[in-house]
């Protein structure tokens, strides 16, 4: 765990917390207050006799140290010699190992790129592996989703050579390299003390690594399921699915993948001719904005998914063959029917024209509801309506539509940029009996708050998420779990 605390007291508490959790501490000297980080004896006293790494990271490598280079390396070396713990030295300063007489069996030689993942990554790794140190570490920034595969390939290459390498793609797009690294040859990985206390971009909190992803228990036999999304930060699916994997004794892990190029991602993950990972991949959840695009990238479509024109679930079969399903349809209908009752003849408005909206509209059509698709772009609304045999309208038309039920199938209101916003004004809810917001983070969106103030039944997205997730889980694993079990997993995370 990276310890980025300023005072000796706070740093010592974090080091002790790490030990109690069964990990080791990376004490970031560059984060300590000026008087402490210039005193090698005081630094050594914090880690002596402990499982620890000393790091004094300069600004150009993502650290905080502006100490002159010769002084920085001298201080790090002296603190490491005094404490007899591991130290991390950058590749371009590796001559310090010989110059200061450091014990090479306790040295990590590293290279960081805080801006990108360079094309000459193999050459950089070769230079790292040539340094007489115990462990090599390469950490570059995943600008593109596919950058993470470059790091995975280097880890595999080092493993084939019998050389210990830590290979990390920094940033949100590289999360999988941190979680799966130790299962595939990395001697360790790096995490943070808590959210907001990261020592590098993309570090995951220690308790999340241990309790959600069980990173210390994963092996080469553990299969991978992934969430494909434009933004994974708000999703509760990793916490929920990983909990059910654990509860059912299933040796797998569910990982978040922030994907910018879906075809390239699927090629690198599963297609035999272009595959870049050694992992056993069982499937994916697919969410905004990829649900409709994914339809053209799978090899076969479930009939319901074909009719909807959007998928939220991919199952990986033999030879990387992809099958697409849509569990959103029944996932949305089950809680809606339970809350409202019979839907035939009910006037229902659906906000949005994306994959989630298509699933809801298809389910409503099957139940004989009188449905209208409303979107900011009337052309997109008509495309969905025409495909599924319903009416279309602009968002401004919601207020006068005489609706019984309003369903929000847009991401408006989700944690992040649109949190606190509503896709329609509160006045548009006049006469509406039930409002169903598919957004589940936060659980009480502005739209639901407005609905309650107008006397409507307010139904959030949590029941739908649990229902569709239960169906996904069975498709991937063959194990049947109930909606209640999925909802309980939500509550326990």
> What are the catalytic residues?
291
Kindly give, in sequence order, each residue whose CB lies less than 8 Å from that of residue 249, ignoring residues fewer than 6 positions away. Answer: none
- What distances in angstroms separate CA 230 from CA 149, 151, 239, 292, 437, one per listed residue? 18, 21, 18, 13, 20
Residue 316 in 3-state DSSP?
A: strand
Query: Closest Cα partner for 174 from 100, 277, 273?
Result: 277
Tell me how far the alpha carbon of residue 145 is from its chain's centroid: 12
Gap between the Cα atoms of 66 and 43, Å rounded: 18
79 contact partners, CB below 8 Å, separation of at least 6: 29, 40, 41, 43, 44, 54, 87
Contact 47, 25 (CB under 8 A): yes
Helix (H, G, I), strand (E, B) or coil at 333: helix
In DSSP terms, which residues pair with 313 in a beta bridge? 285, 325
Task: Report CA-CA distances (Å) from 161 to 155, 158, 185, 219, 290.
Answer: 10, 5, 11, 19, 38
Instruction: Tokens 């995370």: give the residue.
Output: 493
| Cis peptide bond prior to 289, omega within 30° of 0 | yes
Beta bridge partners of 228: 257, 286
- CA 151, 56, 109, 41 dihedral sign is negative
Classify burial at 471, counting beta carbons within 10 Å of its beta carbon; exposed 0-12, middle 13-18, buried 19 or more: buried
Tell me the residue ranges of DSSP E strands in 309-453: 313-316, 322-325, 347-351, 370-375, 391-394, 405-408, 434-437
Task: Classify residue 449 as exposed, middle or buried by CB count within 10 Å of its CB (0-12, 13-18, 19+).
Answer: middle
Give CA–CA dist 276/298, Å, rounded.
19
Which residues lie below 8 Å from residue 352, measured CB to CB, with a gap of 6+? 373, 374, 375, 408, 409, 410, 423
Alpha-helical runs (H) found in 271-343: 303-308, 328-340
Closest CA to 85 of 47, 55, 41, 57: 47
Q: Give the C-alpha separation, 234 to 441, whole Å.
A: 6
């Amino acid at each position: 765990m990276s310890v980025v605390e300023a005072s000796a007291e706070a740093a010592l508490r974090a080091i002790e917390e790490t030990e109690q959790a069964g990990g080791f501490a990376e004490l970031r000297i560059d984060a300590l207050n000026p008087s402490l980080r210039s005193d090698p004896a005081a630094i050594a006293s914090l880690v002596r006799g402990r499982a620890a790494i000393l790091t004094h990271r300069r600004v150009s490598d993502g650290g905080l140290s502006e100490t002159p280079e010769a002084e920085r390396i001298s201080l790090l070396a002296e603190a490491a010699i005094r404490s007899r713990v591991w130290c991390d030295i950058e590749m371009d300063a590796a001559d310090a190992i010989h110059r200061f007489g450091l014990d090479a069996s306790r040295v990590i030689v590293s290279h960081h790129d805080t801006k990108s993942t360079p094309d000459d990554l193999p050459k950089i790794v070769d230079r790292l592996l040539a340094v007489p140190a115990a462990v090599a570490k390469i950490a570059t920034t995943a600008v593109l989703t596919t950058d993470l595969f470059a790091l995975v390939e280097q880890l595999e290459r080092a493993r084939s050579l019998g050389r210990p390498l830590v290979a990390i793609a920094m940033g949100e797009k590289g999360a999988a390299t941190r979680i799966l690294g130790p299962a595939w040859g990395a001697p360790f990985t790096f995490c943070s003390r808590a959210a907001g206390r990261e020592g590098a971009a993309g570090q995951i909190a220690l308790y999340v690594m241990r309790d959600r992803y069980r990173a210390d228990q994963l092996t080469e036999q553990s299969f991978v399921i992934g969430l494909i999304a434009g933004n994974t930060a708000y999703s509760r699916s990793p916490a929920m699915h990983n909990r059910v994997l654990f509860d059912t004794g299933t040796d797998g892990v569910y990982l978040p993948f922030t994907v910018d190029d879906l075809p390239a991602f699927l090629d690198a993950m599963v297609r035999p001719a272009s595959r870049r990972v050694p992992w056993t991949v069982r499937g994916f959840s697919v969410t905004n904005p990829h649900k409709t695009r994914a339809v053209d990238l799978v090899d076969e479509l479930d009939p319901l998914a074909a009719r909807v024109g959007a998928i939220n679930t991919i199952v990986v079969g033999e030879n990387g063959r992809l099958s697409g399903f849509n569990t959103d349809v029944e996932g949305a209908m089950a809680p809606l029917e339970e809350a409202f009752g019979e839907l035939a003849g009910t006037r229902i408005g659906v906000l949005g024209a994306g994959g989630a909206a298509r699933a809801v509209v298809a389910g409503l059509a099957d139940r004989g509801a009188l449905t209208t698709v409303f979107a900011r772009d009337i052309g997109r609304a008509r495309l969905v309506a025409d495909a599924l045999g319903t009416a279309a309208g602009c968002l401004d038309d919601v207020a006068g539509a005489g609706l019984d039920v309003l369903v929000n199938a847009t991401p408006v209101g989700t944690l992040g940029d649109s949190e606190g916003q509503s896709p329609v004004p509160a006045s548009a809810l006049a006469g509406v009996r039930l409002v169903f917001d598919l957004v589940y983070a936060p659980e009480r969106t502005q739209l639901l708050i407005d609905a309650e103030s107008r006397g409507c039944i307010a139904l959030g997205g949590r029941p739908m998420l649990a229902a569709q997730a239960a169906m996904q889980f069975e498709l991937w694993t063959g194990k049947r779990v109930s909606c209640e079990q999925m909802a309980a997993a939500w509550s326990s995370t």
